[in-house]
């Protein structure tokens, strides 16, 4: 227990409490203790026993907060299954003298199977969403860096004409498509190199070179935006 988190301990304690309450009700109420009772009782115990495991998968898999946030659908499936199984068990226990054991077994197995399929599907979807999120962060990193670099460069311009040209470039970058892809690799490399040269010219006070590089960067940015549109068709 010492290696468990507080949330894990809480989940185990709550699950244990529910198990005790359910068991007291199941054995205190004079339900007929036939095969139907024991089959449905076992499935209820299973639905409770898997809760700590499912909650661990839902909220403790992965290190980032998004992975845990996307675990809520997984947890919801598990909780709904547990509630449905508990209610169904009490109903079957009450009708134990009238319901064939095979009917109870079929219902319980179908419910467990549906919950398992839902859990696996939700977990797979969570993995895919997290993967896409990480890919998107990586895809927008280039343009975010370029935008930040040019915005800083605006304030470094000593010449008013250069400052206006760089500010215009910064504005165009701001409203450009921020998502990169493999097809933009070469043009983005050229744009990055041009921005670096522009930064050097601004720092060195080379007005004509800076203005020329600002125009070149505008052209490279326009070409990148054109390629972005082509790749979306």
Per-residue pLDDT reduced to its tens digit, 165-204: 999 999 999 888 887 777 788 888 999 999 999 999 988 8
Determine the Cα–Cα distance for residues 32 and 80; give it in Å rounded to an integer. Answer: 27
Q: Are residues 68 and 121 in the same domain?
A: yes
pLDDT attached to residue 61: 55
User: CB count, 10 Å around CB of 63?
Assistant: 7
Domain span holding position 45: 6-136
pLDDT band of residue 2 (cuts 50, 70, 90) is: very low
Which tens digit of pLDDT belongs to each residue from 3-35?
556 777 888 888 899 999 999 999 999 998 889
Q: Are residues 29 and 89 in the same domain?
A: yes
Q: Are residues 20 and 120 in the same domain?
A: yes
Q: Please indicate whether residue 176 or residue 136 has the higher confidence score (pLDDT).
A: 176
pLDDT attached to residue 1: 45
Q: Are residues 48 and 115 in the same domain?
A: yes
Q: Are residues 82 and 183 in the same domain?
A: no
pLDDT exceeds cutoff 80 at 138: no
Residue 141 within any structural domain of the chain: no
- State the residue for tokens 């935006």: 225
Q: Are residues 19 and 132 in the same domain?
A: yes
Residue 32 within any structural domain of the chain: yes
pLDDT attached to residue 135: 62
- State the residue for tokens 């935008």: 147
pLDDT attached to residue 75: 85
Of 55-59, 95-99, 174-178, least confident by mean pLDDT is: 55-59
pLDDT exceeds cutoff 70 at 56: yes
pLDDT attached to residue 68: 64
Q: Are residues 164 and 84 in the same domain?
A: no
pLDDT band of residue 57 (cuts 50, 70, 90) is: confident
pLDDT exceeds cutoff 60 at 63: no
Counted domains in the chain = 2
Q: Are residues 26 and 123 in the same domain?
A: yes
Residue 11 within any structural domain of the chain: yes
Q: Are residues 98 and 187 in the same domain?
A: no
pLDDT exceeds cutoff 70 at 62: no
Q: Are residues 26 and 98 in the same domain?
A: yes
pLDDT exceeds cutoff 70 at 136: no
């Amino acid at each position: 227990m010492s290696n468990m988190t507080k949330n894990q301990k809480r989940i185990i304690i709550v699950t244990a409490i529910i198990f005790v309450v359910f068991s007291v009700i199941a054995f205190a109420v004079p339900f007929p203790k036939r095969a139907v009772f024991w089959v449905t009782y076992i499935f209820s115990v299973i639905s409770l026993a898997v809760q700590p495991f499912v909650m661990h998968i839902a909220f403790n898999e992965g290190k980032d907060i998004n992975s845990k946030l996307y675990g809520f659908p997984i947890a919801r499936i598990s909780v709904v299954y547990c509630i449905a199984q508990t209610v169904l068990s009490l109903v079957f226990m009450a009708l134990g003298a009238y319901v064939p054991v095979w009917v109870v077994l079929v219902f319980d197995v179908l419910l467990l199977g549906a919950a398992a399929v839902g859990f696996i599907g939700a977990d797979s979807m969570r993995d895919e969403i997290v993967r896409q999120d990480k890919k998107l962060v990586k895809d927008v990193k280039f343009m975010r860096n370029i935008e930040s670099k040019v915005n800083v460069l605006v304030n470094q311009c000593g010449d008013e004409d250069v400052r206006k040209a760089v500010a215009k470039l910064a504005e165009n970058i701001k409203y450009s498509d921020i998502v990169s892809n493999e097809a933009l690799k070469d043009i983005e490399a050229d744009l990055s190199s041009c921005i670096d040269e522009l930064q050097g010219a601004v720092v060195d006070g080379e007005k004509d070179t800076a203005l020329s590089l600002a125009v070149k960067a505008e052209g490279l940015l326009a070409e990148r935006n054109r390629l972005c549109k082509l790749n979306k068709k």
